[in-house]
Structure 1
């Protein structure tokens, strides 16, 4: 069972990672701007800060994988 992080819980509501580049990559099924899936985009306002932090960690990994696939630094 996962322990809750009290530091994340007590933060003000985390802002959306939206970059304003809203275009879905239909191959990977996530946004080309923020790297979120449609479910993550639509459910963002309902997520707890802990859930948002989990998504942000996934976004970082997706962005890194995308750069590696395109041979970018």
Structure 2
């Protein structure tokens, strides 16, 4: 079982990374605005802060790969 980071656990819910540009890129299967998949978008409200932070880290690399 993975230990939770107490600093992340004690902060309020991380906000959605939504940018308001809600258009799916069907080639890459993620949103062109926030770079989340449909499952990540739909499940955001039920994820823990640790899970949300993990997704946010993935978004950075998805964004960089798309702009390369």
What is the TM-score with the length of structure 2 in the denominator? 0.96
- Unaligned segments of structure 2, at least 5 residues: none
Superposed counterparts of 1:51-70, under 5 Å: 51-68=51-68
Could you list the runs of 5+ residues in structure 1 that have no partner in the other structure?
A: 69-73
How many residues get paired? 68
Instruction: Report runs of 4+ in structure 1 exceeding 6 Å deviation.
Output: none
Structural mapping, 1:17-28, within 5 Å: 17-28=17-28
- Structure 2: how far apart are the matches of 1:46 and 1:36? 15
- 2:11 aligned counterpart, secondary structure: coil
The whole-number CA distance in structure 2 between the counterparts of 1:56 and 1:27 is 20
**Which has more radius of gyration?**
1
Matched residue SS, 1:61: helix
- After TM superposition, list the pairs within 5 Å mapping 1:21-60 onto structure 2: 21-60=21-60
